[in-house]
Amino acid sequence: MTYIAGEYDVIVIGAGHAGCEAALAAARMGCSTVVFVMNMDRIANLPCNPSIGGTGKGHLVREIDALGGQMAKTADKAMIQCKMLNTSKGPAVYSLRSQIDRDKYRQEMKLVLEKQENLDIRQHEIVEILFDTDENQEKCVKGVVTNLGTVYYGKCIVVCTGTYLRSRIIIGDTVYDGGPDGEFPAARLSACLVKNGLKLLRFKTGTPARVNKRTIDFSELTEQPGDDRVVPFSFENEELEIDQISCWLTHTNEKTHQIIRENLHRSPLYSGVIEGKGPRYCPSIEDKIVKFPDKDRHHIFIEPMGRNTYEMYLAGMSSSLPEDVQVRMARTVKGLENVKFTRCGYAIEYDCFDPLQLKPSLEFKNVKGLFSAGQSNGTSGYEEAAAQGLIAGINSALKLQGREPLVIDRSQGYIGVLIDDLVTKGVSEPYRMMTSRAEYRLLLRQDNADMRLTEIGWKVGLVGDERYQAFCHKKEMIAQEIARVKKTTVPPSKEVNDLLISYNSTPISSGFKLEDLIKRPELDYFKLEPIDPGRQQLPYAVQEQVSIAIKYEGYIVKQLMQAEQFKKLENRKIPENIDYGKVEGIRIEARDILSKVRPVSLGQASRISGVNPADIAVLQIYLEQTRRRPKEEKSEQDD
């Protein structure tokens, strides 16, 4: 007899970064939720680099926080170093990156899950998803079966299996079935998914070796300390006091490259053992040397794995060469001459879904109540995973509440860009967030994520009233201060001109608008404080918004106009039941792709590769025709 262990609103499979956000969001929105994890001690593990944030990724963490997600708060707790990247490259691409104590991060996240009301955590491998048909004869989910044969029923299921599905570890010519970071693989679920008509892809990624700090000669390395000012990820933390730990920089050299070249034939990448598609942005060291033979050295960043450990991570040395080659090449590097490995670098191959099967809500088009988030959708990165987990969790809860799904659009957030790219274009390699993927990058800054998303998070029910009030107050302060600055004129006094000259700025000879001074390339809002007597003490976050809004007004307006145009097509919805076979005048090629992707709006349709502007125009007219037809036919009858 089957043991039926429980009945839940939402079942989350996997408790990595996607799974944690999904489970927390669903539970916080009032759904009874269970999350399954293969190993309780590996909740929210960071199996690759001990770091959260970075270009584009830091933006995602900010957005997760603005919507009421968890990652930013836990990262703030476990942060051991903070760096704001790209400060010389402009406000749109300022990116927060932190080094993370990964043991601490795991513990903190586990505790958050454990304390969360409505949420149960179970250590089990899920081997099967149970399907059913609903009252409309459509396929839907029913529950899951664990490796012990136990059944849990659920109305919605969120798959967050990361890199565990049918995963293989590859190190040189050694290949074995295994999950990331020494874990077991989830070997059986894939077969069930395929049997039920879901399309899987095979991807590959990798990680470098970890080494013992005691065996590194730091005297040869360049220290990479954190910033003086620590910026928290979470908007709810105004300040963070942390004792920062440095990273270290060294380089590969000709000897390293020679060893790699001599042993290429032993690399599974070149011998054909690896079938999965790997990411271009995260190549193994052997890839870099083959693709860029002219570069005589490559960076290696040595990053601490935490406060209470001697393990360090060799960023830049990702490799699937045999163990002996890995050790030998590491020891050619300055400072690592006598290094001892604790763990080998490896490549991992795993199954993931073709994300074209998903709606922008992250629910499967063909299975009601089945969602997927994270690396199982063909992405890479903790932050990308968490962002999707949050959205999938929110949308499973909204579905059960009978509400419209939450879809962040491309002009609202990187989360929107990420998910839209996945479900519109599909993936041909693990997908990484990059700021250059966002068309409206200047609008989607990391500093204004709350301005863009907190209200949405509040409406959804994840952001509490208190936080929402604080947010409204901040917004108000920003608006008032901008209005004040715009009204302020600066006199051509000696004091003013002295300050201007000190910044190499042309002195003024008559009254000058403060706003126009801020806009000068060499000046900003902060620098002009001494000659702005009307200024009140305002929180830093408010001042920052004012400074950017005024200084870059011209460019911001440009992007706002583009975004407005974009929204018009986004708002033209395509009915779910449209029959593209009936749309005359559309090219066959476009018809096939459209029937496959089934975009929800004309905007999404226009971004599918293989669909051209003329197809969109035809489609637009067809939609208008079908919208009007019933009406006109009716009025004909009335006549």
Partner 1 sequence: MQIFDRDTIAAISTAVVNSGISIIRISGDDAFSIADKIFRGKTKVKDMKSHTVAYGKIVSAEEEVIDEVLLIKMDGPKTYTREDTVEINCHGGVVVTNKVFHETVKAGARVAEPGEFTKRAFLNGRIDLSQAEAVMDLISAQTDAARRIAISHIEGRLSRAVKEVKDRIANVSAEIEYHIEFNDDDMEQSVIDRLILTLEECESSIKRIMDTYDTGKVHREGVNVLIAGRPNTGKSSLLNELLGSDRAIVTDIPGTTRDIIQDYANIKGVFVNLSDSAGIRDTQDIIEKIGIEKSYGAAEKADLILYMADVRSEWNEDDKEFFEKFNDKKILVILNKIDLASEEKVKEGSAVIEKETGRKPVAVSLKSGQGINLLYEKLEELLLPGKLDTKNQTVVTNVRHKNILETAYQYVKDSIRGLKENTPVDLVTIDLNGAVYRLGLLTGETASDDIIDRIFANFCVGK
Interacting residues toward partner 1 by CB under 8 A = 49, 55-56, 83, 85-86, 88-93, 208, 280-283, 288, 291-292, 295, 298, 301, 315-316, 318, 425, 434-437, 439, 441-442, 521, 552, 555, 558-559, 565-566, 568-569, 584-585, 587, 602, 606-607, 609, 612-614, 616-618, 620-622, 624-625, 628-629, 632
Which residue has tokens 């659920």? 154
Q: Taking the alpha carbons of 44, 47, 50, 56 in that order, is the dihedral positive or negative?
A: negative
CB contact at 8 A, 154 and 144: yes
CB of 559 to partner 1, least distance (A): 7
Retrieve residue 315's tokens.
């960023």
CA atoms within 13 A on the CB side of 567: 11
Calpha distance 198→590 (Å, rounded): 23
In sign, the C-alpha dihedral spanning 569, 570, 573, 576 is positive
Closer residue to partner 1 (CB): 42 or 83: 83
CB of 89 to partner 1, least distance (A): 5
Of 222 and 237, the one with the shorter C-beta distance to partner 1 is 222
Task: Work out how close the CB of 299 gets to partner 1 at its nearest, in angstroms, rounded to a whole number.
Answer: 8
Quick one: 318 or 497, whose CB is closer to partner 1? 318
**With contact defined as beta carbons under 8 Å apart, do 278 and 206 qualify?**
yes
Q: How far is the CB of 338 from partner 1 (least distance, A)?
A: 23
Rounded to whole angstroms, the Cα distance separating 130 from 77 reads: 38
CB of 85 to partner 1, least distance (A): 6
Nearest CB to partner 1, comparing residues 367 and 619: 619
Token readout for 548 is 């950017």
For partner 1, which is the closer residue by CB, 575 or 585? 585
Residue 84 sits at the vertex; the CA angle it makes with 80 and 85, to the nearest 5 degrees, is 120
Q: What residues contact 353, with CB distance under 8 A and at least 6 apart?
A: 159, 193, 198, 199, 200, 201, 372, 376, 377, 378
Residue 56 or residue 268: which is nearer to partner 1 going by CB?
Answer: 56
Smallest separation (angstroms) from partner 1 to the CB of 158: 28
CA distance 553 to 547: 10
Secondary structure percentages of the chain, helix, strand, coil, to 5: 40, 20, 40
d(CA 623, CA 18): 37
Shortest distance in whole angstroms from residue 314 CB to partner 1:
9
Which two tokens mark 538? 């305002």
Measured between alpha carbons, how far is 314 from 46 in angstroms, rounded to an integer?
14
Residue 93 CB, shortest distance to partner 1, in Å, is: 4
The least CB distance from residue 312 to partner 1, in Å, is 14
The nearer residue to partner 1, 285 or 451, going by C-beta atoms, is: 285
Q: How far is CA 306 from CA 247, 313, 509, 636, in A?
A: 11, 10, 57, 75
Nearer residue to partner 1 within complex by CB, 316 or 457: 316
Q: How far apart are CA 260 and CA 341, in angstroms?
A: 18
Name the amino acid, one letter, at 364.
F
Q: Rounded to an integer, what distance in angstroms lies between the CA atom of residue 361 and that of residue 631?
A: 31
Segment holding 52, helix H or strand E: strand 51-53
3-state secondary structure of 552: coil
CB of 334 to partner 1, least distance (A): 18
Residue closer to partner 1 by CB (options 466, 639) is 639
CB of 120 to partner 1, least distance (A): 36
| Closer CB to partner 1, 89 or 307, in the complex | 89
List the structure tokens of 598.
Answer: 């089934």
Our CB check for partner 1 shows the closer of 441 and 527 to be 441
Question: Would you put residue 384 in left (φ > 0), alpha (ψ -120 to 50) or beta?
Answer: alpha
Tokens linked to 229: 């000012």
Asked whether the beta carbons of 583 and 618 are under 8 A apart, the reply is yes
Whole-angstrom distance, CA of residue 313 vs CA of residue 303: 5
Query: For the chain, what's the residue count?
Result: 639
Q: Which is nearer to partner 1, 158 or 247 (CB)?
A: 247
Cβ contacts of 355 within 8 Å, gap of 6 or more: 372, 377, 378, 422, 423, 426, 427
| Closer residue to partner 1 in complex, CB, 202/437 | 437
Q: How far is the CB of 316 from partner 1 (least distance, A)?
A: 5
Smallest separation (angstroms) from partner 1 to the CB of 534 = 28
Provide the pairing of β-strand 346-353 with 247-251.
Answer: unpaired
Tell me how far, at minimum, the Cβ of 454 lies from partner 1, in Å. Answer: 24
C-beta closer to partner 1: residue 35 or 315: 315
The beta strand positions in 477-573, using DSSP E, are: 489-490, 512-513
